[in-house]
Structure 1
Amino acid sequence: MSGKKLINKVEDVVDEALDGLTMINPGIRRIKGQRVLLRETVDKKKVAILSGGGSGHEPFCAGYIGTGMLTAGVAGGVFASPPTSSILEGIRAIATNNPAGTLVLVFNYTGDRLNFGMGVERARAQGLKVEMFVNGEDCSLTTADKTAGRRGLCGTMFIFKIVGAMAERGDSLDSILKATRSISANMGTMGLSLGPCSLPGQGPLFKVAEDKIEMGLGVHGEAGVGEVSHTTANLAVKQIIDHMTKSDSATRIDLRAGEKVAVILNNLGGTSKLEELIIAREVVMQLEGRGFKVVRLYAGHMMTSLEMSGFLISLLKVSDNLEWLELLDAPTSAPAWPANLMSDNNRDRFNPEPVEPSSIKVDDWKMTGVKLNDAAAVKVQSILEEVARTLQGLEAKLNLLDSGSGDGDCGSTHAVGAKALLEGLAGLDCNHPWILLQQLGVLAERMGGSSGGVYSLLFTGAARAFQDQVGGEVDPLAWVRALRFGLETVMKYGGAEPGDRTMIDALYPALLVLEETGGKTGSLTAAGEAALTGAKKTATMVARAGRASYVSRDKVSEEDPGAVAAAAWFNVITSNL
């Protein structure tokens, strides 16, 4: 992992980031010449709350400035505590002429304790009413005899939110400080990392082997429990919860049966949203599988470690303090606090049951249209089976053709569609073309990707040729019109036209042959040949649609795999009629 970053000058990263935050959120103002941010309007009749620490943990802490959370925040250099002079400026800005007082929330790191402590002492010496609380809730270390104590981690965001809401409603400094102590005593945090982060202008801060995970580390990459083998999200979350609740650990969090908990799942910066959501699912399932109840869950980038790939889990026990839930739910204008969409009927988080689909089922078509006789229906079913077998046999060839202009899965995608067709063959209504084509459109969706969408459009559009026919025998030309309607639908929504190097270049020439001959006997063979010829011509065409259109022209020299597949199944049909 390199230290590559999009910055201007290393020495300017913090100041430019703070300016960027205020440009996004004009309700947050910066004190000139200082790395101190505060609300645009400070209510001097209510308790003010200030926090801060090193930069590189964004959105902490300035992102939590807003009504109902922090009043001000002080930023240090990247992973460095802010100087006492800046902290004092921040305290002065919100504590001067404020009889309600100010609470300074500090993360338990030596530099922060020293610098914020000095700032608080100087503020008190100037006659300002200030209290300070140092939070440490790290559960990774199993003994409590460390001189520095438990590290302060993202569980502190619970304190920000709850006491911020208390301050907003007008609670006293003494009651807020008492609640702060209680919140800290009822929570724990632990996490892991898949890899290191790097400071601006530097390389990685530490190393994690490709097959390992660093467990219990801090937000600066400082070591915790140690390394374990890389594993699944399920087992990774299990190891964390096991360790956090370990009975012989002095830093454990004690969860009794039926305990209600609020959870923060903190993305350390480089974990994809996809992984984050999978981990969120695991956290809920595993906690509730152990008999606990997750009543609130907040997930996202809350206290990061630059681009570190990993996460932290913070648990807050709320069973004996249900008022905390009301305070967590209280409104805030702080831009970084997650806004969860809760149920209209239940404020507590729960696992919602899936709603029943409202779409028409494949076996529930109300209109039937014209009907084929039983012999013709049997033949149609036989042709469809052969189409599926043919596409399965082309899987390797189509994948090879696709490897030069796509992601090499065209054959696999068509094989998935063929499998879906074979599995659904017995349930298809081969007597009624209108129903059959609609059913094929639904089955095609199982292919996935753009191919599934294209074929679903093709069959659904083709069905229109039989939609208005109520009875009697099937007009042979209706099948020709069906191909026309299907291709027009694909071109309308897919954006491709003849000559763009797609499956249309196989089927459109065949359509023209059928339309010119009126679908007469002998024209089917000619139409099949036209499809094969059209597919071959795609080798010299410039791709103007599909994934191949993004690939350099000199790398696209073979036939389009989609066109080859279309020509193949089309010829299965023409050779059997």
Structure 2
Amino acid sequence: MKKLVNAPRAVVGEMLEGLVALSPGLALLEGESVVVRADIPAEPQRREVAVISGGGSGHEPAHAGYVGTGMLHAAVAGDVFTSPSTDAVLAAIRAVSGPAGALLVVKNYTGDRLNFGLAAELARAEGIPTEVVVVADDVALRDTVEPSRRRGIAGTVLVHKVAGAAAASGASLEEVAREAEATAAELGTMGVALGPCTVPAAGRPGFSLGEEEIELGLGIHGEQGVRRVPMQPANALVDTLLATILEDREIGSGDRVALLVNGLGGTPPMELAIVANRALTVLRERGVLVERTWCGSFLTALEMPGCSLSLLRVDDARLRWLDAATAAPAWPGNGKLAPARRVRPTPPAPSVSVAAGGAHPGMERFKQAVLTVADALDAAEARLTELDSAAGDGDLGISMVRGAAALRALPESSWTNPARALTAMGEAVRRSIGGSSGPFYATALLRAARRLADVAPDATGWAEAFHAGVEAVAELGGARPGDRTMLDALRPAADAFSQALNAGKSPAEAWNACVLAAERGAEATAGMKPRLGRASYLGERAVGVPDAGAAAVVVWLKALSSCIG
């Protein structure tokens, strides 16, 4: 187990201390794992209805992240995935409540219901009016248990928001409880887990999944879902989650909803945005009016990868509660959506074009040589990915494949003369290859094209164009031979080709010398400490593996061998 903790038993206390230290509006109740608003009036008579929630830790930013003006007045934290004690809940009620009373928002788990329920009873006995609203929004259990026994999961955050806003408006305990209950009744959530999480005290994952398995209908305590299914694309998973929620909540065309896209702790914003995009698309296609959307990690399960979707039916009154201002540090904002729009890109300035004219002799052979290179880059994808993963970000293989596809897609008008073809190839790879390879290859091709403008080159002309392209790469990246870059294959290859031609070798013989020099240069990079590029961050750790960029150069040089003669 690798976690940034000091001791498993200390994680909750240290986490709460850190949160409060970072949030000026929060305070820690002395002697308790309870976070309260720092602005609670000292005189109980001045206090509004207190909204209190909580549960086991490990769901951050829930629940303490939602403590603040306009949301929760206190959050009670238990150990990781463990309900807080009755005494801790009661201490929270005493600390923030007055004659106006308290509302406890409880997720539907046995431990939470018992401890919060008993604390409410004890508070009433002390003269503090106290109500309890239980959230049971997990629609994945629709075929397993009766509605009142469903789990409370991420949608609970929306109940916090509505109840807190109602309390801040000066509403009575009865009114705040009614708004919270009505919100919980219109709420549906379902999630999917791509993997388990590890409770610090346990030191091992709560369950195991195969490489291509996922859990549908998860809980939020590291438990398994309702059923295990094969891994699917994000869109398919979103469709499944939404279909279940829409059917269970009877939401259809014309209904107004708020959407919460929740990450479970191990899901990056990139993936959550993909999920949100699909969810919005599906809801709009079904005629459901999405009035508000929030996307992020709101109620997590430690580092579990996966997400959940929540839908809350809304009207104007409920939207006012959702839109009301709050100082809770974890609330993300108003969730309003802008109209879908796209901005047209600025067209490029006119560039100097190479005259087309009629097709030069040999251009069909030139085109076939380029297509041969494209096929070779496709075949080398796995190897290039492996090399680039060892000392880079692992994207070179797929980048070269994208470049190959762009070369194949060039129109016939590109193949009229060498300069025109090289220019078109440079433009194609510039647009298709990401990272550093795209600019390097585009610059080399465009420089070589200018060298060949208005001529029908012989072998010497091609050698000069090759040298020009290599010089362009060196100028752009600032690399020199020995820096462990693609230049360690390019430079000796270009030199060997020119030298062999000058020595009277045939073009085919000269090209064989070129390829051999490139292979030796690429192999030599395995013993070099990188001085430029992403591999330079690894220092000595990159030694022992050839540079992926140099290896890619060898791939296309070798592919051209069969075309030169």
1:498 counterpart = 2:485: no
Indicate how the Cα distance of structure 1 residues 83 and 555 shifts in structure 2: closer, same or farther if over 3 A, else same. same
Deviation at 1:72, TM superposition (A): 1.7
1:355 counterpart = 2:337: no
After TM superposition, the structure 1 = structure 2 runs for residues 314-325 of structure 1, keeping only pairs within 5 Å, are: 314-318=310-314, 321-325=315-319
Counterpart position of 1:249 = none
**Aligned counterpart for 2:427 among listed residues 435, 442, 448:** 442
SS in 2 for 1:554: coil
**Alignment: residue pair count:** 547
SS in 1 for 2:24: coil
**Aligned counterpart for 1:288 among listed residues 279, 284, 287:** 284
Counterpart position of 1:236 = 237
Indicate how the Cα distance of structure 1 residues 521 and 427 shifts in structure 2: closer, same or farther if over 3 A, else same. farther
- CA contact 1:371–1:432 (8 Å) conserved in 2: no
1:426 counterpart = 2:412: yes
Greater Cα offset, 26-35 or 528-537: 528-537
SS in 2 for 1:428: helix
1:561 counterpart = 2:551: yes
After TM superposition, the structure 1 = structure 2 runs for residues 521-540 of structure 1, keeping only pairs within 5 Å, are: 529=513, 532-540=516-524
Counterpart position of 1:5 = 3
Q: Deviations over 1:514-564 (max 9, x none)?
A: 9999x9997996985567525523322415245666554234499931332
Counterpart position of 2:196 = 196
Q: Deviations over 1:285-313 (max 9, x none)?
A: 33333332222222222111223333322
SS in 1 for 2:184: helix
Distance (whole Å) between structure 2 residues aligned to residue 429 and residue 200 of structure 1: 63
Counterpart position of 1:42 = 40
Deviation at 1:389, TM superposition (A): 1.8
Matched to 1:357, the amino acid is P
**Aligned counterpart for 2:324 among listed residues 330, 337, 342:** 330
- CA contact 1:406–1:547 (8 Å) conserved in 2: no
Q: Deviations over 1:447-487 (max 9, x none)?
A: 44543342124335667779xx9xx8899999999767754
1:52 counterpart = 2:54: yes
SS in 2 for 1:295: strand
SS in 2 for 1:311: strand
After TM superposition, the structure 1 = structure 2 runs for residues 141-540 of structure 1, keeping only pairs within 5 Å, are: 141-142=141-142, 149-202=149-202, 203-208=204-209, 212-222=213-223, 225-246=226-247, 252-318=248-314, 321-339=315-333, 347-348=336-337, 352-360=340-348, 366-368=350-352, 371=355, 374=358, 376=360, 379=362, 382-393=365-376, 396=379, 400=383, 403=386, 406=389, 413-414=399-400, 416-428=402-414, 430=416, 433=419, 438-444=423-429, 445-460=431-446, 486-487=469-470, 490-491=473-474, 494=477, 496-509=479-492, 529=513, 532-540=516-524
Deviation at 1:420, TM superposition (A): 2.2
Counterpart position of 2:12 = 14
Q: Deviations over 1:183-209 (max 9, x none)?
A: 112112222334433322323334556
Distance (whole Å) between structure 1 residues aligned to residue 115 and residue 522 of structure 2: 70
- CA contact 1:405–1:547 (8 Å) conserved in 2: no
Deviation at 1:157, TM superposition (A): 0.9
Indicate how the Cα distance of structure 1 residues 258 and 383 shifts in structure 2: closer, same or farther if over 3 A, else same. same
Indicate how the Cα distance of structure 1 residues 556 and 142 shifts in structure 2: closer, same or farther if over 3 A, else same. closer
Deviation at 1:60, TM superposition (A): 0.8
Matched to 1:84, the amino acid is T
Matched to 1:65, the amino acid is V
Deviation at 1:505, TM superposition (A): 3.0
Deviation at 1:507, TM superposition (A): 3.6
SS in 1 for 2:219: coil
Sequence identity percentage: 37
Greater Cα offset, 51-60 or 165-174: 165-174
Matched to 1:441, the amino acid is G
- CA contact 2:490–2:550 (8 Å) conserved in 1: no
Q: TM (normalized to structure 2)?
A: 0.81
Q: Deviations over 1:18-55 (max 9, x none)?
A: 12222332332212221111223235454332211111
- CA contact 1:269–1:301 (8 Å) conserved in 2: yes
Q: Which runs of 5+ in 1 are unaligned?
A: 247-251
Matched to 1:536, the amino acid is R
**Aligned counterpart for 2:73 among listed residues 46, 71, 74:** 71
Q: Deviations over 1:180-239 (max 9, x none)?
A: 121112112222334433322323334556655433342224566444454443443344
Deviation at 1:115, TM superposition (A): 2.0
- CA contact 1:233–1:278 (8 Å) conserved in 2: yes
Query: What is the RMSD of the two structures over their aligned residues, measured on CA atoms?
Result: 4.2
Deviation at 1:317, TM superposition (A): 0.7
Matched to 2:14, the amino acid is E
SS in 1 for 2:16: helix
Counterpart position of 1:113 = 113
SS in 2 for 1:5: coil
SS in 1 for 2:141: coil
Distance (whole Å) between structure 1 residues aligned to residue 381 and residue 221 of structure 2: 49
Deviation at 1:122, TM superposition (A): 3.4
Deviation at 1:410, TM superposition (A): 5.9
Deviation at 1:12, TM superposition (A): 0.6
Deviation at 1:136, TM superposition (A): 2.2
Distance (whole Å) between structure 2 residues aligned to residue 110 and residue 256 of structure 1: 33
- CA contact 1:192–1:312 (8 Å) conserved in 2: yes
Deviation at 1:409, TM superposition (A): 8.1
- CA contact 2:246–2:252 (8 Å) conserved in 1: no
Distance (whole Å) between structure 1 residues aligned to residue 456 and residue 168 of structure 2: 74
Counterpart position of 2:87 = 85
